[in-house]
Amino acid sequence: MNFRFVDVIDILLVTIVIYNAIKLMRETRAGQLVKGIIVVLCVWILATTAHLYMTTTLLTFVIQYGLVCLVVLFQPELRSALEKMGRGKVSGGLRSIFSVRASEEEEQQEQLRRGILAVVEACDGMSRTKTGALIVFERATKLGDIVDTGTVIEAVPSVPIICNVFFNKAPLHDGAMVMRDGMLYAAGCILPLTKRNNDVAIELGTRHRAAIGMSENSDAVVVVVSEETGQISIALGGTITRNYTRESLQNELNNLLLNQDTSKNKSTFFASIRRPKNEK
């Protein structure tokens, strides 16, 4: 009889929190850490029941400072979750309040379109010559920490420049190239490797694992050209898809990067709970 409409909202909010907490644990190593925490709690309950004074005191002390410990242990997972929330619909609406004028948006779109075309043509050529390449398209998540590991270039992208960067005798060819707003912003950058080693096909090398790792930690679109096979791949949201041709690569990059509402991409906070699987 005392059930109110606000109670429905309260239940829905708690459901969403629990749902996304489970999703976070399933998709990251947080699940293993939670199991360890449950073991500690079970031992504490048993020690309290059995009146084990020293054990209970020690575990009580640990649990009292557990919140700080959780923040430290789950720092990568919490950061990833907050970044995904930041790319959600609410933040997208806030960004639109401060959006640039239509003419500036059109200019940015045209610049991005030229950058995509240059990357596609360069990747097509490097695929034929089996030149390894790793190109990161920055989106909503800024990659300043990744840029700091390389060399800032800030150049208008072109096929000769991109191919020269990845020429196997060039000093920056081993790292990744970062594209920002359609510009070639930095090169020789170091990307984090994926931690889901068991889910990655064994024939994929370090470039592909770095591409997957980068896509796990941000909403970036990462293009890879294999040095062994010349095969072109795209990593997004922790998933890698392969065997792109020049035409399919350009279509995919256009769909992902041009006129996109970041709240609708598949790495949003309220995406499906299904665990993404890397293509074998």
Please compute Rg for the chain using Cα positions.
Answer: 23
End-to-end CA distance of the chain: 55
Whether 110 and 164 share a structural domain: yes
Whether 26 and 111 share a structural domain: no
Q: Residue 89 domain-assigned?
A: no
Tokens of 228: 């062994």
Residue that terminates a domain, selected from 73, 89, 110: 73
pTM of the model: 0.62
Whether 29 and 161 share a structural domain: no
- Tell me what pLDDT residue 165 has: 93
Tokens of 128: 């034929």
Range of the domain at 187: 102-264
Sheet of 183-189, strand order: 151-155, 183-189, 176-180, 133-137, 221-225, 232-236, 239-244
Whether 21 and 131 share a structural domain: no
- Give me the CATH number covering residue 179: 3.40.1700.10
Residues linked to residue 7 through DSSP beta bridges, in sequence order: none
Mean pLDDT (10-residue bins), the chain, 280 residues = 79 85 62 73 88 86 74 66 59 48 73 92 93 92 87 92 91 90 92 77 84 89 93 91 92 85 39 38
Whether 45 and 149 share a structural domain: no
- Tell me what pLDDT residue 27 has: 53
Q: How many whole angstroms from its chain centre is CA 143?
A: 11
